[in-house]
Each structure stands twice: as C-alpha cells, then as structure tokens.
Amino acid sequence: MRLTGLARRAFLLLCIAGAAPAPMAGNPASPDMPAIALSRHPEGRWAVRYVLPVPARQLVFVRADARGTRARDWTALDPDFQLVVENGVEVVRRRDGAPFTQAVFTMPTRYVTLDKDYAPFAPFGDGGLLVHSGRFHACAERCPEVGMGRPVRWRVRLMPSAGEHAIVGGQVVAAVDFLDGDDGTSLYVGKATPVETADVLAVIDQAMPDGIRQRLQSLLPRLMALYARELGALQAKPMLFASRDAAHPGGGHGYQGGTLPGQVFMHIYGDHPAFATPAFAARMDAFFAHEAAHMYQHYPATDQAASWIHEGGADALAAVALQQLGESDPAAIGVRLRDARDSCATSLAAGPLAEAGERGDFDAYYRCGFVLQMAVDAAVRRASGGQCGLFCVWRDFQARVRGGAPWTGATFIEATRQRGGDGAADFLMAVTDGKPDNPAALLADGMAAAGLPPAPPKN
C-alpha cells in the first residue's frame, strides 16, 4: 500500500436481469468469508450488507482502525446490532450476543483521512464517488493471519443507481460483481465519461479547478502513452482518478493521493485559493507522473536498500517524462535537484544510503535516488549523443531482471555502466554503499561530471 499527501492526513443483495457485471477472476471466493454488497441509501448515505455463509457471533474487519471511525460513522439498520471498539479493534455483534447471518450498516460518504490507510469514500463534486472496497473486508469471528494458507477472497457486489455506471478493473460496467482480495480496489460510481485510450482509463472530476482539469485531460493520455512506449505496455489498462470535494464537511482543506495495483488516485478536499494556481497544477502533474511510473517499474519490494531505485527512480522518470512532453519548467527542476542534493548530503553524513532505511531515514531514498537517476539520465544522454537517457537504462535494467538478475542496486549500476560508462556507475556506487568524508562535494562533483547544469543559488 502507498499513500501520499498534504494532510498526514440499504443495499439488498440484488441479482438484476440484464446487468453487465464485471468479470469474476482469480481464485474462488473463500467459503468462510461473508459476501459484501454496497449501494446508495436515502439521504446521501451508502449501505453495506454482509451475508455470512454460516452463523457467527461477531464480524471483525481486516483493516484495523484504532480511531474507531467505523464505530463513529456507521449506523446499524437493525438496532439489535452494535459496532464497538475493543482493544483497538472494531467488532460487529448483536446486543444479545446471539449468532447472526446478516448485518446491514449505513454510513455517510464524507472523505476522512486515516492513519496510513485509504479513505472509504472520495466524493466527486459532480456527484460521482470513489469507493475503496478494502475498507469493507470483514471476517466471521476472526481474520486469518496474513500469509497463512490460501489467499482470502470476498465476493463484492455493487449496483449503481439509475443513470449511473461503475468502473472496475479498467472497464465501464452497469453493475459490479467480482472477487476481491488483498488491499482491495477502487470502485468508481457515477455518470462521468472517462478519458480512455489504449493505455489508460482516467476519470477527472468536472468540479476540479479548470486549470487542473484541462491539464490532466491533456497530460494523462500522453503521459501513459509515453510510459508504454518507453517501458512496455501493461497487461491491464491502468486507471487514474482525480476528485474534488469543495464542500467537504467539517471545514479544513488538503489533498491526499495514493495507489493500488493498476490505480492512481488523488482527492482534493475543502477550498483554498492555492488549488487554482499554476504551481498546484504542476504539483498534480508531478504526482500522477510519479505514481504512474511505479506501475511500470515492476518492483518486487524485497530489498529495502534498493528503494532509491524505486522511489527516486519514479521521481526521476516522472521528471524526464514531463520534460519530453514539454510539461516541465527547467528552472523548477534545477531547484528540486539542488534541494534534493542538499538533503541527500545530510543523510549521507549519517551513513551509507543503503542503510538509510535502518536509520529511519526513508526520505533519503527519494532525495538521493532522484539526484542519482537524474545524473544517470544526463550521463547517458552525453554518452549517446542525445539518443538515449534514463528510459534506456530502465529498459536494460528490466531486461536483466527478466533474464534472471536480481532487482538490486548492483544490477541497476551495471545497466548504468553499459549505457553511461564507468564514471556514472562509480558515482552510484560511491553514494549508495560508500562512506564519503564530504558528501556535499561527492554529490556536486558527480552531478557535474554527469553533465547536469550547475544548481541555482539559494535566495
């Protein structure tokens, strides 16, 4: 799961003839897991109905929420049921303790920021809604431990209201009926016509500030086509969602984004003049470009020390992609590189980059990785006379991994050596594994040798 942002931050189970459910895929639904049905409810609320295969005395949720926002916001349709927090765990029971086979709750669709988790709902200003299915995963009695036995699957159904459609798995459908698991997925419900090409399906809220909406409508298809051309098309069409809820209840404002497999989403809530500025629109460009880059990296998440390739690489791939599309400001990139260099130097003074995660300095993988891979881009462009850049190194790196090489810093450095020469590869090694006496000088010299322009002075 990935989350990033400024703020650190009664449906009855229907079988409708003629509906076009999304195809069910993967392993069968787990026989001991409740079926989940979602739908709109009167007065702007939504409802979830759990149908258990055998009677149980309680339901517990897969995604824990010690703050108890479900207990606060969910209302049982049957007053004999209650949702309580016990030892930081939310539990559904009958008040008399008797076993049950069904439970129905309604809840508001307001956006809430959760600790390291996805919001259950992201309202669109044009009336649409993004629903995180994983928020509703629940188990009878208790949930199995992660990694124990076969994967757990829930059957999830959702029937949009008249005039609406749903989007799931890269498809626009009349109804949702699918097998869900792991972190869940984002389900769109509404009337919006998505921007769809061979490489992407994007839903951009019509209530977005004009500048952001127009930029994203133009940028996202071109961005995803570039990534597909440079790094290869994805097996499943990726989905991008951008929503705006200016009437966010409770006051406050901010934005939060994140990713799920094959999906990137950004939600802006509340109102602030900054949301209509070119600087904020550029920030949205960078966010989607970074998160979309992750889809093409095929990161196995097994080597924390190699996170500079993954996170810094996504920053650099995004910057290079936006440059190639004519959607970036060279001066702004210069400032980013300068600030990332200075931050990286501070991190390296505490020890090698490969050990940054052990020191609790995960941001170093972003900052140092961005500097290193922008240097790789410059070095390879210089060596190839402008015919190649960072994308060439990434293609070579991924080809090595497909050929059996590990997804590690050493493999990436060798791909860099092939394209950019010994100097560029040695610079990466010195930063990732070395203990420089003067990190600032090492970084400045390495960037200059790669061919990056001098950093702009600080004001």
Q: Is the pLDDT of residue 8 over 60?
A: no
342 confidence band (pLDDT: 50, 70, 90): very high
3-state secondary structure of 409: helix
pLDDT tens digits for 103-150? 999 999 988 888 778 889 999 999 999 999 999 999 999 887 654 556
The burial of 454, by beta-carbon neighbours within 10 Å (0-12 exposed, 13-18 middle, 19 or more buried), is given as: exposed
User: To the nearest whole number, what is the mean pLDDT of the chain?
Assistant: 88
pLDDT for 31 equals 78
Cα angle, residue 205 at apex, residues 159 and 46 outer, rounded to 5°: 35
According to the model, what pLDDT value does residue 45 have? 94
pLDDT digits (tens, 9 = 90+) for 355-369: 999 999 999 999 999
- The answer regarding whether domain 2-190 maps to CATH 1.10.8 reads no
Question: Mapping DSSP to helix (H, G, I), strand (E, B) and coil, where does residue 358 land?
Answer: helix
At 259 the pLDDT is 87
Stretch 331-343: mean pLDDT, rounded? 95
Q: Could you tell me which of 60, 65, 64, 58 has the C-alpha nearest to residue 81?
A: 58
Q: How far is residue 397's CA from residue 44's CA, in Å, rounded to a whole number? A: 50
* Angstrom distances, CA of residue 4 to CA of 206, 223, 258, 291: 23, 20, 6, 10
**Cα–Cα distances in angstroms (integers) from residue 277 to residues 210, 211, 245, 329, in the given order:** 10, 8, 17, 15
Strand partners, 265: 241, 258
With CA atoms as reference, report the closest residue to 372 among 291, 283, 418, 306: 306
With a CB cutoff of 8 Å and minimum separation 6, the contacts of 207 are 124, 125, 126, 244, 245, 246
CB 202 within 8 A of CB 194: yes
The H or E element containing residue 419 is helix 409-420
Torsion angle (degrees, nearest 10) of CA 209, 211, 217, 222? -140
- Position 459 scores a pLDDT of 74
Q: Give residue 28's pLDDT band: very low, low, confident or very high (50, 70, 90).
A: low
